[in-house]
A and B are shown apart, each in its own frame.
Chain A
Amino acid sequence: DAGVTQSPTHLIKTRGQHVTLRCSPISGHKSVSWYQQVLGQGPQFIFQYYEKEERGRGNFPDRFSARQFPNYSSELNVNALLLGDSALYLCASSLEGAGGSFSYEQYFGPGTRLTVT
């Protein structure tokens, strides 16, 4: 079975530009989460979407936005890119967990490495 897929693999943008990153979850998974990982740090939560609705948002500025489509794939958009946005952007998918837990076990895709110059 295919795992989580992300595109593109690598991306180079200049400051001020806009970027769109894409993610397809594991078949049957309805929840998608986005994380940002800078070098030497653990992933930091950005968004979670479940059934096309935003379930939670981390401490990121409004320049970051996301959406989930009817087929459960997702896009992460970042406007007005800053040098500090350079990072590995990770998408994770999960089933709806027991007891209303939405994160449950999250499985990561290969990530998109974004470089802002």
Chain B
Amino acid sequence: QKEVEQNSGPLSVPEGAIASLNCTYSDRGSQSFFWYRQYSGKSPELIMFIYSNGDKEDGRFTAQLNKASQYVSLLIRDSQPSDSATYLCAVEGSGGSNYKLTFGKGTLLTVNP
């Protein structure tokens, strides 16, 4: 059973701080990694994807991938109260299972004004 692990939180940061969200995965063959944001009562919204080792930046968001350590993270700079949500890490299956995403349980982030 391929797994994706996230700290469930809640993670609480003050407004303007950097929020760091972490994710580990068990499938060594996985090549594609995604971060989704989910507000309470809503569906997941894709905010970042990363395929190569290293960092990928998009505005206030930075995704970091280390395939050797099977670790992917999301940094949110200058956190805003509107960033308060559950962040889901998703990993694409490898080989014959590359059609599906396996999700972690999500990390609840609260940004305090």
Contacts and interface: CB of A to CB of B under 8 A. Distances in A.
Nearest to B103: A42
Interface of B: 4, 31-32, 34, 36, 42-46, 49, 88, 90, 92-93, 97-106
Most buried by B among A100, A101, A111: A101
A56 B46 contact: no
Contacts, number: 65
A103 B92 contact: yes
Interface string A44-57: 11001010000110
A43 B90 CA distance: 9
B43 A48 contact: no
Interface of A: 33, 35, 40-45, 48, 50, 55-56, 58, 88, 90, 97, 100-111
B53 to A, nearest CB: 17
A106 B46 contact: yes
Nearest to B104: A42
A50 B99 CA distance: 10
